[in-house]
Amino acid sequence: MSKHDAVEVIVAKRDGAELSDSQIDWVIDAYTRGGVADEQMSALAMAILLNGMNRREIARWTAAMIASGERMSFASLDRPTADKHSTGGVGDKITLPLAPLVAACGVAVPQLSGRGLGHTGGTLDKLEAIPGWRAALSNDELLAQLGEVGAVVCAAGDGLAPADKKLYALRDVTGTVEAIPLIASSIMSKKIAEGTGALVLDVKVGSGAFMKDAARARELAETMVALGKDAGVHTVALLTDMDTPLGFTAGNGIEVAESVEVLAGGGPADVVELTLALAREMMAGAGVDDVDPADKLADGSAMDAWKAMIRAQDGDPDAALPTAREQHVVTAPSSGVLTRLDAMAVGLAAWRLGAGRARKEDPVQAGAGVVWHARPGDEVTEGAPLFTLLTDEPERFDRALESLDGGYEISTSSIAGADGGASYTPAPLIVDRVS
């Protein structure tokens, strides 16, 4: 197949032209097979980042990546399917309570996930804190578990969109991650190939998110929603705040524990709010409108589904979670209202404590992470614990403390009723909805 050549395609995009369907099909296929070299694809990725792609190009690019591998089908299930994808945030453990909750509501959740890289944690890393739990399932195991339990969180196999896998690794080392057409096509090619019937996208915006800027987050959400709809997947996106981390924990084992609190009917208000909002979108997308997921949290059926889901992948949901060997407490330097808790600062601290990895092949610590004892809007007292830092390696504390430096603000004038101070109201968690 020498219908095109790599330089021709690169030069076309470099010079601002639209790529033809034939050029896109050729370049993705040739790249997957090795006929287009990494140095050619990275130049093309940079040209796409700087010159953009229109909707038709992005749709074709996504279709070509899907065509590079296998497509799964859940048509044999007796239930509709719905999946959720988050663009990544600090303390974002939502998948853990969400998947069993939606399963308990009668919608099957095939959640193919990844590991974390950088300051946002990976869902698989969190679940691997549970003794015995395994991330790798064959396609047959996945389908069987979906039928029996209704929820699966597992590692995406190599068969789905191999072009994306190769391109994602390349973008990571060539400064071409931040291209909306490439982000959107990367996420959506895997989700469409996976075969879910409905999809809810949680697009994070704020300091701890990949997208710092609301306009770009909205553009990404709109692009992905359009791609999903074109492919016949019922797709909705929520834009949600990531200036502040979710809940009170960022790490692996400690996020599992917080998720179990939610499944037990408690847990942080923001985690509960976002879990329920996403669950309702998934159920609406799947066409189920006669169940309120809040009831399934209250009556214990979401917890039952969680335990079944963990046991199906050889995990023990009742076993004690691993804890860190060392801890360091940061106390509040003054009394007042916490008005800012920076998600990026917390995420970096957790990462530096060993909860995340710098390179793909690095291990993570199951017990490491950051617990914060107040959220924006809460009053804090001088000398009382504000953060607890957890790690197995105490030499990590110094750099984690550096990350937190300047990452929060305590305002004395914002105490409700204090002289001249307006009371502080945190920003809303759910910023917008794109459908």
Which residues carry out catalysis?
85, 164, 171, 186, 190
CB of 46 to a second copy, least distance (A): 4
Question: How many residues form the binding site for a second copy (CB under 8 A)?
Answer: 24
Considering the rule CB under 8 A, would residue 49 count as an interface residue with a second copy? yes
> Can you tell me which residue has the tokens 């959640």?
111
CB of 21 to a second copy, least distance (A): 20
User: Residue 163 to residues 5, 157, 178, 272: CA-CA distances in angstroms?
Assistant: 18, 13, 18, 36
Considering the rule CB under 8 A, would residue 24 count as an interface residue with a second copy? no
CB of 138 to a second copy, least distance (A): 33
Cβ distance to a second copy smaller for residue 234 or 352: 352
For residue 356, report the phi and psi dihedrals to the nearest 5 degrees: -120, 180
Full DSSP string of 380-419: E-TTSEEEEEEES-GGGHHHHHHHHTTSEEEESTTSTTST
Considering the rule CB under 8 A, would residue 19 count as an interface residue with a second copy? no
23, 32, 40, 113: residue in contact with a second copy (rule CB under 8 A): 40
Judged by CB under 8 A, which stretch of 47-55, 104-112, 277-285, 331-339 contacts a second copy? Answer: 47-55
Number of continuous H segments (helices) and E segments (strands) in the chain: 16, 13
Distance CA 82, CA 284 (A): 9
Compute the Cα dihedral for 392, 398, 400, 404 and give only its sign.
Answer: positive
27, 45, 279, 297: residue in contact with a second copy (rule CB under 8 A): 45
Look at residues 297, 305, 295, 242 and name the one whose alpha carbon lies nearest to residue 270. 242
Cβ distance to a second copy smaller for residue 34 or 417: 34
Considering the rule CB under 8 A, would residue 6 count as an interface residue with a second copy? yes
Considering the rule CB under 8 A, would residue 7 count as an interface residue with a second copy? yes
Cβ distance to a second copy smaller for residue 42 or 252: 42
Burial class (CB in 10 A: 0-12, 13-18, 19+), 157: middle
Distance CA 124, CA 172 (A): 20
Judged by CB under 8 A, which stretch of 39-47, 193-201, 291-299, 408-416 contacts a second copy? Answer: 39-47
Considering the rule CB under 8 A, would residue 211 count as an interface residue with a second copy? no
| Pattern 172-191, a second copy, x by CB under 8 A | -xxxx---------------
Cβ distance to a second copy smaller for residue 11 or 72: 11
Judge contact between 337 and 380, C-beta under 8 A: yes
User: Residue 78 to residues 106, 144, 145: CA-CA distances in angstroms?
Assistant: 10, 12, 13
C-alpha R_g of the chain: 22
Full DSSP string of 3-67: SS-HHHHHHHHHTTPPPPHHHHHHHHHHHHHTSS-HHHHHHHHHHHHHH---HHHHHHHHHHHHH
Cβ distance to a second copy smaller for residue 7 or 384: 7
Considering the rule CB under 8 A, would residue 37 count as an interface residue with a second copy? yes
**Cα three-residue angle 245-248-249, rounded to 5 degrees:** 85
Considering the rule CB under 8 A, would residue 32 count as an interface residue with a second copy? no
| Pattern 412-431, a second copy, x by CB under 8 A | --------------------
Considering the rule CB under 8 A, would residue 38 count as an interface residue with a second copy? yes
CB of 177 to a second copy, least distance (A): 9
User: Under DSSP, is residue 177 helix (H, G, I), strand (E, B) or coil?
Assistant: coil
Considering the rule CB under 8 A, would residue 14 count as an interface residue with a second copy? yes
CB of 268 to a second copy, least distance (A): 35
4, 10, 163, 194: residue in contact with a second copy (rule CB under 8 A): 10
For residue 39, report the phi and psi dihedrals to the nearest 5 degrees: -70, -25
Considering the rule CB under 8 A, would residue 23 count as an interface residue with a second copy? no
Site of interaction with a second copy (CB under 8 A):
6-7, 10-11, 14, 37-47, 49-51, 170, 173-176
